[in-house]
Amino acid sequence: MEPDMSSKKPDTGPQKTQAQTHAQSHAQTHASADPAARAAELAKQYWERQWQLWQAFGNAGRDAGRLPQIARPAPADRRFDAQEWHQHPWYAALMQSYMLNADMLRAMTEAADVAPKAREQLRFLTRQFIDATSPANFLPTNPEAMRLALDSNGESLRAGLAHWLADAARGQIAITDERAFEVGRNIATTEGAVVFECELMQLIQYAPLTPQVALRPLLVVPPCVNKFYILDLQPHNSFVRFALEEGYTVFVVSWRNPRNELQQATWDDYLEQGVMRAIDVALAISGADKLNALGWCIGGTMLASALAVLGARGTQPAASMTLLTTLLDFAEPGELGTFVDAHSVQETERTFADGGLVSGKVFALLFQSLRANELLWPYVVGNYLKGQRPEAFDLLYWNSDATNLPGPMCAWLLRHGYLQNELREPGKLEICGTRFDLGEAKLPAYVLGTERDHLVPWRAAWQATQLLGGETQFVLAASGHIAGVINPPAANKRSYWTGATQPASSADDWLAHASSHGGSWWTHWSAWLRRHVGMAVPARQTPGNETHKPIEPAPGSYVKARLS
């Protein structure tokens, strides 16, 4: 889903397509002109390029090679791979004309005289419009779809209509062959047992894979906006299995897919009844003095918050904390923050004042739209225009297994995190009846950012090192929010960067002194974690204890609840 990265120095910003570079150069060229003059100049250049293209098309005959290369897609753009886009004059001209349109729209967006927040929103909407209007998305202008329809005597169109009707009935576009996977059968299969459950979550304890284990267990808090088994897809890419093979006793929180019984649940509930309860149970079962805790994305935000609250209460049950692509400082909130403003937050609070659920299907469509040319339009084209079924892919199966969220909990995070950025301010908030200060999490922390993360920009992830109360180790992994994290060592893919020992004054200062390493960050993290796990003890083969007896085999029943 995300491209592999080499071990070269990471870019200091996102990669730009040819069109984006052209658009930004236009904006810079005309920065001093008034908006009307900028728009007029951009329009003039746009029509000159379009005239040049279509004049050449009129003289090209049947030879696409006679068309000038005025605009072309980025190398990673797979929409125009079919030979007709490059060998047939009509399709070649259509593709270039579309690229010119996209170029002009981006340039107009960058040149617009608007406030920074409005520009972010305009960029997002412009990108959605550009992606949606690609000629590859429509049957008459997609040469592959037209060829398939002719070759199959219309069978591809009949199949495409059947796929559209099926997707419309369930309210979600199929992005993988869901018949190929079943949670607990060939995905999320690591052996273990549910040893505790409440309304919000089940706690899974996994069976050891080594004769001896570290005294202090590892508790994993995944994001509640998705299901936990991204960390236990299949044996070859399971983070849970890796941790077990490294000799750790692993507990994982499996959040419930909320129904009406949880429509009143709050942020405090997720901390007190979820994270803190899981800490208590894991410590009681293991008999350890402390545990090591790991949180991913919003799970990391909840974990750091819970440990800070416990620290303020005078207790610290964790020996270390690992935060994977986690926002604690929301000043740079990624693309999810684009449309969070005072009005949208007030509307959310009004909507859920008496409780309610945010549909997981809304989240699924939102996340797909953030990467529409990877997670939306290829499946519209493949499923409906070509009548094909998507391939089986475990990661995309997980991605399509959407979860609801309680409205009050979402509204709290939108206001105090994304809008007002108050989690970072000591004493500003009262959480679980305790004045909140992230500095109360006074324990060693391993903080991971990913280079091309559109949800948690890596510089925003780095900011956690400035807020926590203990010694921190920041690591930057290549690729994005998911592929940068799920990168098993055996695959020998991608790379990661570690910083110098001296404290960095900024994320860019950290980057300037960082060193590159090939492969997965998992082994580096495990070496760091070993300093905090305690002595080795014989592995216990029976899960739970007298108080917390096994309830059912892993992965449990909560994770199997799918949206209807």
Q: What is the pLDDT of residue 352?
A: 96
Which long-range contacts link 62-65 to residues 24+ away (Cβ below 8 Å)?
62/89, 63/89, 64/88, 64/89, 64/91, 64/92
102 with 215, same domain: the answer is no
Contact 513, 467 (CB under 8 A): no
Predicted confidence band at 180 (pLDDT cuts at 50, 70, 90)? very high
Supply the range of the domain harboring residue 53: 18-116
Look at the alpha carbons of 418, 424, 428, 432 in this order and tell me if their dihedral is positive or negative: positive
Whole-angstrom Cα distance, residue 326 to residue 321?
12
- CATH code, domain carrying 452: 3.40.50.1820
* AA letter at 396: L
Same domain as 94, residue 232: no
**Catalytic site includes residue 297:** yes
CA atoms within 13 A on the CB side of 329: 17
Predicted confidence at residue 64, as pLDDT, reads 63
SS (H, E, C) 146-206: HHHHHHCCCHHHHHHHHHHHHHHHHCCCCCCCHHHCCECCCECCCCEEEEEECCCEEEEEE
Could you tell me the two tokens for 347? 């509307």
User: Alpha-carbon distance 76 to 188, whole Å?
Assistant: 32
329: tokens are 């400082």
| Nearest alpha-carbon partner for 38 in 29, 46, 49 | 29
Percentage of the residues of the chain whose pLDDT score is greater than 70: 93
Residue 217 located in a structural domain: yes
Q: How far apart are CA 326 and CA 302, in angstroms?
A: 10
The tens digit of pLDDT for each residue in 292-303 reads: 999 999 999 999
Considering the domain architecture, whether residues 89 and 237 belong to the same structural domain is answered as no
pLDDT at position 14 over 60: no
**Rounded to two decimals, what is the model's pTM?**
0.90
Residues 203 and 325 in one domain: yes
Residue 182 lies in a domain: no
- 157 in any annotated domain: no
Structure tokens belonging to residue 420: 């007002």
**526 in a structural domain:** yes
Continuous segment of H or E residues that includes residue 496: strand 495-498
Tell me the range of 10-19, 28-37, 331-340 where mean pLDDT is highest: 331-340
Same domain, 473 and 325: yes
H-helix or E-strand containing 473?
Answer: strand 472-477
C-alpha to C-alpha distance for 266 and 254, rounded to whole angstroms: 17
Partners of 430 in beta bridges: 435
Among 468, 413, 367, 69, residue whose Cα is nearest residue 265: 413
- Reply yes or no on whether the pLDDT at 33 is more than 80: no
Residue listed under structure tokens 């309210």:
171
* Residue 406 located in a structural domain: no
Same domain, 89 and 233: no
- With a cut of 70, say whether residue 454 has pLDDT above it: yes
**If pLDDT is split at 50, 70 and 90, which confidence band does 390 have?**
very high
The answer to whether residues 299 and 446 belong to one domain is: yes
Find the mean pLDDT for residues 107-121.
Answer: 91
Residue 88 maps to a domain? yes
Is the pLDDT at 16 greater than 80? The verdict is: no
Helix axes 35-60 and 18-29, enclosed angle (nearest 10) = 140
Q: Are 214 and 248 in contact (CB under 8 A)?
A: yes
**Domain boundary residue among 79, 94, 116?**
116
Tens digits of residue pLDDT in 130-161: 999 999 999 999 999 999 999 999 999 999 99
* Cβ proximity of 303 and 229 under 8 Å: no
In tens, the pLDDT along 230-241 reads: 999 999 999 999
SS3 labels along 304-331: HHHHHHHHHCCCCCEEEEEEECCCCCCC
Domain count for the chain = 2
Is residue 131 within 8 A of residue 372, CB to CB? The reply is: yes
Local confidence band at 564 (pLDDT 50, 70, 90 cut-offs): low
- Residue from 224, 297, 410, 432 carrying the catalytic annotation: 297
- Are 106 and 206 members of one domain? no
**439 lies in the same domain as 309:** yes
Distance, CA of 142 to CA of 173 (rounded, Å):
20
Mean per-residue pLDDT for 373-381? Answer: 94
**Residue 418 pLDDT > 60:** yes
Ramachandran category for residue 253: left, alpha or beta (phi over 0 → left; psi -120 to 50 → alpha): beta
Same domain (yes/no): 552, 461: yes
pLDDT of residue 71: 85
Does 325 lie in the same domain as 467?
yes
Report the pLDDT value the prediction gives residue 497, as an integer from 0 to 100.
97
Q: What is the pLDDT of residue 89?
A: 87
Identify whether residues 287 and 426 lie together within a single domain: yes
Q: What is the DSSP letter of 260?
A: G
Residue 71 lies in a domain: yes
Answer with the one of 73, 91, 116 that is the final residue of a domain.
116
The pLDDT of residue 62 is 67
Residue ending a domain, choose from 116, 150, 178? 116
End-to-end CA distance of the chain: 26
Contact call for residues 334 and 124 (beta carbons, < 8 A): no
Using alpha carbons only, what angle is made at residue 413 by residues 292 and 274, rounded to the nearest 5 degrees?
Answer: 40
Per-residue pLDDT reduced to its tens digit, 206-246: 999 999 999 999 999 999 999 999 999 999 999 999 999 99
Strand partners, 194: 204, 552
502 has pLDDT over 90: no
Q: What is the DSSP letter of 357?
A: E
The interaxial angle of helices 35-60 and 89-111, nearest 10 deg, is 170
Would you say residue 484 lies in a domain? yes
Burial class (CB in 10 A: 0-12, 13-18, 19+), 393: middle
